[in-house]
């Protein structure tokens, strides 16, 4: 992305992240590399400071005996010092392994064993306690380094060490062996493994995906090309570090482009922090956008009549022409004028409240986004786009180019990426961003990369007329009903989840006569609705069982049925019977992955009685479930669940009903 010759020559050597870091420290030493809100103030670290800190951590690790190829576990929220640890580990030719910080200890034990972790850098007492708990299962764990010493003063275990002391030791080491670290960085090569990311494991045990420096750098460069990213971008880093997306946006792209990452003060302050930073480049999974919109709508309902009127009037204008204005399409002068006024009175202030005033590019991925939701953000002038990718491809396969945005596609193949479809509709990809291997799993590696070097994504999809890729479902989840019509569970569930009252849905139908669904209501949205209806309820279980709520949800299900009836391929898979679950599906109970995707098989097994009831025509079914609290204790929830029927539509009748 360099313009001058001098930089181009230099760029050839910038093939690892440590080299990129040292490059930025030399070229833009005083530009902010990271900010973190602490004590109510945004504290800034320049590239030069980051480089110094990374050096200190790296040398400290070396002093402890960290060797090339060693794996370093990194567990915690998005803290600058944890990002530094990633870079420090890479400086020494080690492989950082990030873990989801909210995982319970036993889940962590598997990854620590699999990756044979000897060194771990963790955030605080909570994570230290988890490490100590699983120590008997992970006997080779020799060093646990913690960032925040609070509450740890009386811990006497010899394997514990503060990151401050480690850095201090590192600084001394660096002074005494001035050439050591530079020599280590020189030993690195572009096709070394730069990071190991564990797949969240929708099925089976998690696998460690080994990615090289080259893969992530290529993915970052491609994205920079498409969106014209510069070193002036600001991004909020608030998604788990263990997730490939965060590693791409907050680490790889920031390192390649040299822009600033901002770490929120705490998990609860993200919205405030977002507003204060006003990022220019933003990523959020669809549910974050959805929560924001739900909150805005709820607050608007409590606003004065005049404000409500203004809001809805200009929202109408935005829906009519906002997206076209954003895409640079021709729009009448009258509409433009109205939109300008709307921007002044409504959209501008609204974007400001949401922290989206400065956004040039916003991305969403990970799950399908509802058309209304997508349109809403684009219509108020937020350049929201979608991409497609997975851990194995550095989250980089397809991107929506500016001006060619469709809510139901994921865009065109990104630079350097080749995409083709297998005969069964499975999406195959090839490019520099592909994984090097699954850690210690040559069988899995061989299984997922075919003879021609294409990675088999496991997703089913097709290209539309303009060459945009459309994803339907997981290839293995696409099934058939007994009458032979196609059943794509995700496709239907996404349609259900687009309704604000439905938080989660799981559909069943493969090998059955008809389709049925489990529904999780959205407590906030339905709760607010119930309040306005004057309904009393004591909590989720109570609310979910009320007949008025069933009516509300049936209405949504029937709308989805009408929608499905309109699509000749899908009309056979309309939902005939459904129930509302008595508890929210939860990652702590193993029902969702840590990235909040439904673990279909697990849910089907756990609630087998409910599925039987759905398909046997029963009207009511008792269920008792064990739930796990965050601290590991268990409790029980039981309920009698009602099962209701929903209207289905003949394919021809669809238009009238919709």
Partner 1 sequence: MMMNDIAQAAHAQEQANGRRVGDVILDLQNISLSFGGVKALTNISFNVREHEIRSIIGPNGAGKSSMLNVMNGVYHPQEGRIMFRGEERRKMDPHVAAAQGIARTFQNIALFKGMSVLDNIMTGRNLKMKCNMLQHALFWGRAQEEEIEHRMKVEEVIEFLEIQSIRKTPVGRLPYGLQKRVELGRALAAEPSLLLLDEPMAGMNVEEKQDMCRFILDVNDQFGTTIVLIEHDMGVVMDISDRVVVLDYGKKIGDGAPDEVKNNPEVIAAYLGTSH
Point out which residues bind partner 1 (CB under 8 A).
Answer: 37-41, 150-151, 153-154, 265-266, 268-269, 272, 631
DSSP secondary structure string for all residues of 139-176? TT--EEEES--TT-TT---TTEEEHHHHHHHHHHHHHH
Quote the least distance from Cβ 522 to partner 1, whole Å: 21
Q: Which is nearer to partner 1, 150 or 636 (CB)?
A: 150
Quote the least distance from Cβ 264 to partner 1, whole Å: 9
- CA 580 to chain CA centroid, nearest Å: 26
Sign of the torsion angle spanned by Cα atoms 154, 159, 161, 163? negative
Q: Which is nearer to partner 1, 165 or 269 (CB)?
A: 269
In the numeric block, the tokens 């992955």 are attached to 593
Quote the least distance from Cβ 538 to partner 1, whole Å: 14
Q: Output b/e per residue, 153-179; b: 16+ Cβ within 10 A.
A: eeeeeebbbebeebbebbbebbeeeee
Distance between CA 309 and CA 327 in Å, rounded?
27
- CA 168 to chain CA centroid, nearest Å: 35
Q: Which is nearer to partner 1, 154 or 656 (CB)?
A: 154
Q: Which is nearer to partner 1, 443 or 631 (CB)?
A: 631
Quote the least distance from Cβ 269 to partner 1, whole Å: 4
In the chain, DSSP finds a helix count (H) and a strand count (E) of: 25, 28
Structure tokens at 71: 């794996």
Distance between CA 260 and CA 95 in Å, rounded?
24
Quote the least distance from Cβ 151 to partner 1, whole Å: 6
Q: Are 48 and 29 in contact (CB under 8 A)?
A: yes
Quote the least distance from Cβ 21 to partner 1, whole Å: 29
CA distances from 384 to 283, 306, 326 (A): 9, 29, 10
Q: Are 435 and 393 in contact (CB under 8 A)?
A: yes
Helix-helix angle 489-497:547-565, to 10 degrees: 130
Sign of the torsion angle spanned by Cα atoms 92, 94, 95, 101? negative
Distance between CA 67 and CA 62 in Å, rounded?
7
Quote the least distance from Cβ 154 to partner 1, whole Å: 7
Quote the least distance from Cβ 129 to partner 1, whole Å: 12
Quote the least distance from Cβ 188 to partner 1, whole Å: 37
What are residue 473's phi and psi, to 5 degrees?
-170, 175
């Amino acid at each position: 992305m360099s313009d001058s010759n001098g930089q181009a020559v230099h760029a050839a050597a910038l093939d690892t992240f440590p080299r990129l870091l040292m490059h930025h420290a030399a070229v833009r030493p005083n530009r902010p590399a990271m900010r973190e809100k602490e004590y109510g103030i945004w504290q800034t670290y320049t590239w030069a400071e980051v480089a110094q800190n990374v050096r200190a951590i790296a040398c400290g690790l070396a002093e402890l005996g960290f060797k090339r190829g060693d794996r370093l576990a990194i567990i915690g929220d998005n803290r600058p010092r944890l990002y530094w640890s990633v870079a420090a580990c890479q400086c020494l030719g080690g492989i950082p392994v990030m873990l989801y910080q909210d995982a319970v200890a036993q889940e962590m034990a598997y990854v620590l064993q699999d990756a044979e972790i000897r060194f771990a850098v963790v955030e605080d007492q909570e994570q230290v306690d988890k490490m100590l708990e699983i120590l008997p299962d992970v006997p080779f764990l020799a060093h646990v380094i913690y960032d925040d010493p609070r509450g740890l003063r009386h811990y006497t275990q010899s394997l514990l060490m503060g990151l401050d002391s480690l850095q201090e030791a590192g600084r001394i080491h660096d002074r005494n062996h001035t050439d050591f670290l530079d020599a280590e960085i020189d030993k690195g090569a572009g096709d070394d493994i730069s990071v190991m990311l564990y797949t969240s494991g929708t099925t089976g045990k998690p696998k460690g995906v080994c990615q090289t420096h080259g893969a992530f750098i290529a993915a970052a460069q491609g994205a920079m090309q498409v969106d014209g990213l510069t070193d002036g971008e600001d991004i909020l880093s608030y998604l788990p570090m263990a997730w490939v997306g965060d590693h791409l946006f907050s680490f790889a792209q920031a390192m390649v482009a040299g822009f600033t990452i901002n770490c929120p003060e705490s998990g609860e302050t993200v919205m405030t922090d977002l507003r204060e930073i006003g990022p220019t480049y933003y990523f959020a999974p669809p549910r974050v956008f959805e929560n924001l919109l739900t909150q805005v709508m709820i607050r608007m309902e409590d606003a004065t009549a005049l404000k409500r009127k203004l809001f809805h009037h200009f929202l109408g204008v935005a829906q009519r022409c906002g997206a076209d204005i954003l895409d640079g399409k021709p729009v009448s002068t009258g509409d433009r004028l109205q939109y300008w006024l709307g921007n002044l009175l409504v959209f501008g202030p609204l974007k400001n409240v949401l922290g989206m005033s400065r956004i040039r590019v916003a991305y969403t991925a990970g799950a399908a986004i509802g058309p209304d939701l997508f349109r809403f953000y684009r219509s108020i002038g937020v350049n929201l786009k979608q991409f497609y990718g997975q851990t194995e491809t550095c989250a980089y396969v397809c991107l929506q180019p500016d001006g060619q945005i469709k809510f139901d596609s994921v865009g065109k193949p990104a630079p350097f990426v080749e995409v083709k479809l297998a005969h069964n509709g499975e999406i195959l990809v090839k490019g520099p961003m592909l994984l090097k291997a699954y850690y210690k799993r040559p069988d899995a590696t061989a299984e997922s990369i075919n003879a021609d070097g294409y990675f088999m994504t496991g997703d089913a999809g097709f290209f539309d007329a303009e060459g945009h890729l459309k994803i339907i479902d997981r290839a293995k989840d696409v099934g058939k009903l007994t009458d032979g019509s196609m059943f794509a569970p995700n496709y239907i569930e996404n349609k259900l989840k687009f309704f604000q009252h439905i938080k989660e849905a799981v559909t069943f139908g493969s090998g059955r006569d008809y389709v049925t669904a489990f529904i999780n209501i959205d407590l906030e949205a339905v709760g607010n609705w119930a309040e306005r209806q004057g309904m009393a309820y004591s909590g989720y279980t109570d609310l979910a069982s009320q007949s008025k709520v069933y009516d509300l949800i049936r209405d949504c299900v029937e709308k989805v049925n009408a929608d499905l009836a309109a699509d000749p391929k899908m009309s056979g898979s309309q939902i005939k019977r459904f129930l509302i679950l008595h508890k929210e599906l939860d990652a702590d109970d193993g029902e969702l992955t840590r990235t909040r995707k439904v673990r279909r098989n697990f849910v089907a097994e756990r609630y087998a009685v409910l599925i039987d009831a759905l398909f046997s025509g029963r009207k009511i079914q008792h269920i008792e479930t064990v739930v796990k609290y965050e601290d590991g204790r268990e409790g029980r929830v039981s309920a009698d669940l009602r099962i209701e029927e929903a209207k289905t539509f003949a394919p021809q009748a669809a238009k009238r009903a919709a």
